[in-house]
Amino acid sequence: MELFGKKRKKKNGTVSLNAETIIKVFEKPIYWHIRRMVVSHEDAQDVLQETFIRIFLSLDTIKNNEALKVWIFKIATNECIRHLKKKREQSLSDISESELLAERLETSEYINLEDAAGIRLQRAILTLSQQERIVFNLRYYNEMNYEDIQRITGYSINVLKVAYHHAKEKIKQELLN
Amino acid sequence: MENNLNNIGKRMPYYVPEGFFEHMHDQLLSTAKQSEDKRKFNFRYKWIAAAVIVLIASISFMVSQWTGKNKQEQAIAMINETEYPETMLPDEELDSWVEFTEEDIFINNFSNY
């Protein structure tokens, strides 16, 4: 796929996407998806760059525009997982991923600590396991259907429904506490 | 939980520096351009590499054919050049062979067939 060619209207009415369009459409949603996973703005910026590098290098493999959103979110999610794994390995202590991210929530820049309710919710979300957090974020914030989440995560729809329900219950308990 | 979430909604305590997305947009476009150039280079490089491999394979094949033919010709030449000594039987032995063939019933009887 020519990344910098002109946008062409195909016979079936869909528009051939180029790099500029992809960035325009997906830059913000992907950034916020990544930010919710890694918490720190600096880390989110790095992961966003890596994500788009991978997108541009393998754009030819995507067969149709309808699957583009799911494919891009899948790449972004995998990059987040890769990044968090690297951070855990670099960390000198035996701190868990949840604890590491909770610490980031308190100390990172570009976090509005005056938004108490927002902080409470994020802190509650960060107590979830990584898989639960991914499912919850994609369902709650991105309002994705289970079929798309299945394509992103590889889990069956039943497992996703259980994970989302479990995540909600855990967050409920945390908020009540 | 639903009431709590309704109150909190989807807002998050996260924000970005001013102008971040505009700056990021330009940076990502530059990244896309570099990726495109890299892909084009890799594509050309693969074709060149494939052509070189085919050329080397062809030359190797031709060389092997030529050396094989040469070896065959050499072998034939060796055979032609080899002088086989003529062995002469002594007279007594020759005579005994002549007598033997005269007395051999198989040779004498079957030669008529």
Q: The complex's ipTM?
A: 0.84
- Which is more confidently placed, B42 or A128? A128
Q: What is the pLDDT of residues A35-65, one digit of tens each?
A: 999 999 999 999 999 999 999 888 877 766 6
Structure tokens at A67: 């699957």
CA–CA separation, A154 and A148 (whole Å) = 10
Q: What is the DSSP string of B33-93?
A: HHHHHHHHHHHHHHHHHHHHHHHHHHHHHHHHHHHHHHHHHHHHHHHHHPPPPPPPPPHHH
pLDDT averaged over chain A? Answer: 88
Subunit contact A28:B21, Cβ cutoff 8 A = yes
8-state DSSP, A7:
P
Distance from CA of B1 to the nearest CA of A (A): 5
- Which chain A residue shows the shortest CA-CA distance from B14? A111
Subunit contact A113:B13, Cβ cutoff 8 A = yes
Q: How confident is the model at residue A6 (pLDDT cuts 50, 70, 90)?
A: very low
Residue A14 has pLDDT above 80, yes or no: no
Structure tokens at A48: 């966003």
Nearest to B13 by CA among A42, A110, A46, A171: A110
* The pLDDT of residue A61: 76
A-chain CB neighbours of B17 within 8 Å are: 41, 110
Subunit contact A36:B39, Cβ cutoff 8 A = no
pLDDT < 50 positions in chain B = 1, 113
Residue A135 has pLDDT above 80, yes or no: yes
Subunit contact A118:B31, Cβ cutoff 8 A = no
CA–CA separation, A33 and A104 (whole Å) = 16
pTM over 0.80: no
Helices (H), chain A: 19-38, 41-57, 68-90, 97-107, 116-125, 130-136, 146-153, 157-176
B-chain CB neighbours of A52 within 8 Å are: 28, 31-32
A-chain CB neighbours of B10 within 8 Å are: 140-141
Q: CB-based contacts of A22: which residues, under 8 Å, 6+ apart?
A: A55, A59, A68, A72
CA–CA separation, B104 and B101 (whole Å) = 5
Q: How many CB atoms lie within 10 A of CB B36?
A: 18
